[in-house]
Amino acid sequence: MLLSKKQPSASATKWIEKVKYQKHKESYSYFTFFLNNPKFRYAAFLFVFLSLWFLLQVRWFPSTRTSQLVTQTTSKSSPGKCNGDVSVYVYVLPAEFNLGLLHDCNQLNVYTNMCPHVANNGLGQPLDNMDVGLGESNPWFATHQFIAEMIFHARVENHPCRTCDPERANLFYVPFYGGLHVSSKFREQNHTIRDALAVGLVDYLQVQPAWRKNNGKDHFIALGRTSWDFMRTDSGPDFGANCLLNLPCVKNMSVLTVERNPWKGSNQHGIPYPSYFHPSTSEQMLTWQRMVQGSNRPYLFSFIGAPRKGVGKAAIRDEMIKQCMESTQCRLLKCDHGNPKCYNPSEILKVMRESQFCLQAPGDSFTRRSTFDAILSGCIPVFFSRHTAYTQYAWFLPEEASEYSVYMDEQGDESKRIQEVLMKIPKEDVERMRATVIDMIPRLTYAHPNASNTDLGFEDAVDVALQALARHVGNIIL
Ligand SMILES: *[C@@H]1O[C@H](CO)[C@@H](O)[C@H](O)[C@H]1NC(C)=O
Ligand SMILES: *[C@@H]1O[C@H](CO)[C@@H](O)[C@H](O)[C@H]1NC(C)=O
Ligand SMILES: *[C@@H]1O[C@H](CO)[C@@H](O)[C@H](O)[C@H]1NC(C)=O
């Protein structure tokens, strides 16, 4: 049931998109034609009846659905098959824009030494304290939250939809490690120096023949940090951002980022933060999904996070910590004073696997990696801002937020009595939501970049992003 749900849902999305685009053109007249013709009316009735019957089957007999879908998955993985009209060309950039930056990995972030984190194509160090045996290759890594750009790069390089012929490509990937670079320059006072590499990238791109063909509209970058780090404003406070996403050339491109600017980011598309699980096979994925499905969850809810200094964002965090401490049904993992448990992935996932709901307070920005750790653990996320997920990851999340999450506005009354609100949700609803959350795991996971195309057998975050991007670019270029 778990994995393969992506098949129907991927095509369903495509279908919905298609319908949306055609709606105004043709469907209205077809529809009236059908209604006015008795023969067709009967056929339509029969069709609707059968569809409903089928839906009921799927709903009411989930176990049948399980076994069915697992078989589908196994048969589906044909060797190196590229799905979804994607043909992606990967620029071979001068090393200064990506791999060359890694030589100074201890200088890449003003707060941390990134050397352990950039290892293994950005997966980081293997984790051997995960108490789950998942076959021969270990899929667990202590992955850094801001490293998606490296994993994305490694995965696309090895992707069945990659083409080496720019003439045949419908997508052009510019593998710039912009997040790693910007965090190495946070303390650079001179803006010219801070922006230099971004400006250099744009100079490089604009003279490329492939750029000129569509003014870069079919080009994209993927960034492991939030868009705020690349959108310095003259009026706002200077927290170290550069100007990358404000450059006219980059505005013509699509920008994949772990957090988009909901107001000025029309060319920005949210991609998941990487969590710790990077499976190479659908077997590993299914084993994990079954494990979180069967997990015992004694806690109603949990919160993992640090109190924040300052007023605005701190308010909701402090409120949560207070409510969690007061509740016997809440598990709190408080991350102040460098609590080592907060840096231990197995500890974090354990807390989440034992909880039914995981509170997602906005952090330094709207989004949190923790949202993806929670989903990976089968823990239903509770959001307090629409910008923590709903306005961010449209390509990856079900359209209907209540299918997989709970929303309590941070200004509203519900967020003042979290336990009470969560306790009122009927058990069946909780189970349905959790099933949806567990079904979402594959699409939000970054598969191991070296996974063979034959074995992977499920669509991961990179597959979903490339397919959605190809549709999007197809629509803006035509
Ligand atoms: C992927 O394979 C290449 C070539 O065999 C190897 O150099 C690299 O370390 C592998 N990456 C990971 C993350 O294991
Ligand atoms: C910033 O750096 C550039 C290039 O090195 C230099 O020309 C400029 O004078 C510097 N600006 C300031 C304010 O120091
Ligand atoms: C961006 O695209 C527009 C066409 O939509 C084009 O006129 C403009 O020159 C492009 N900008 C750059 C920097 O390539």
Q: What spacing in Å lies between the alpha carbon of 451 and ligand 1's midpoint?
A: 10
* Domains in the chain with CATH codes: 88-276+448-477 (no CATH), 296-442 (3.40.50.2000)
Q: What spacing in Å lies between the alpha carbon of 252 and ligand 3's midpoint?
A: 6
215 in ligand 3 pocket by Cβ < 6 Å?
yes
30 has a pLDDT exceeding 60: no
| 118-128 residue pLDDT tens | 999 999 999 98
121 in ligand 1 pocket by Cβ < 6 Å?
yes
193 in ligand 2 pocket by Cβ < 6 Å?
yes
Q: What is the mean pLDDT of residues 36-41?
A: 46
- Other C-beta atoms closer than 10 Å to the C-beta of 207 total 8
| 249-305 residue pLDDT tens | 999 999 999 999 999 999 999 999 999 999 999 999 999 999 999 999 999 999 999
pLDDT of residue 452: 78
For atom 10 of ligand 2, the residue with the nearest CA is 190
| Dist. CA 119–CA 124, nearest whole Å | 5
Q: What is the mean pLDDT of residues 392-405?
A: 98
For atom 3 of ligand 3, the residue with the nearest CA is 215
**Please, which residues have CB within 8 angstroms of residue 418's CB and are 6 or more apart in sequence?**
301, 320, 323, 327, 359, 382, 408
Please state, rounded to an integer, the average pLDDT across all residues of the chain: 85
366 burial type by CB count under 10 A (0-12 exposed, 13-18 middle, 19+ buried): buried
Give percent above pLDDT 90 in the chain. Answer: 70
Q: What spacing in Å lies between the alpha carbon of 214 and ligand 3's midpoint?
A: 8
| 452-467 residue pLDDT tens | 776 688 999 999 999 9
Ligand 3 atom having least distance to the Cα of 247 = 13
For atom 4 of ligand 1, the residue with the nearest CA is 450
pTM for this one?
0.84
414 has a pLDDT exceeding 90: yes
Residue 315 to residues 310, 329, 453, Cα–Cα distance (Å): 8, 22, 47
190 in ligand 2 pocket by Cβ < 6 Å?
yes
| Dist. CA 342–CA 198, nearest whole Å | 34
Residue 37 main-chain phi, psi, to 5 deg: -110, 115
71 in ligand 3 pocket by Cβ < 6 Å?
no
C-beta contacts of 388-392 below 8 A and 24+ residues apart: 388/360, 388/362, 389/360, 391/260, 391/262, 392/259, 392/260, 392/262, 392/270, 392/366, 392/367
pLDDT of residue 51: 53
pLDDT of residue 416: 94
State the pLDDT confidence band at 71, using cuts at 50, 70 and 90: very low
For atom 11 of ligand 1, the residue with the nearest CA is 120
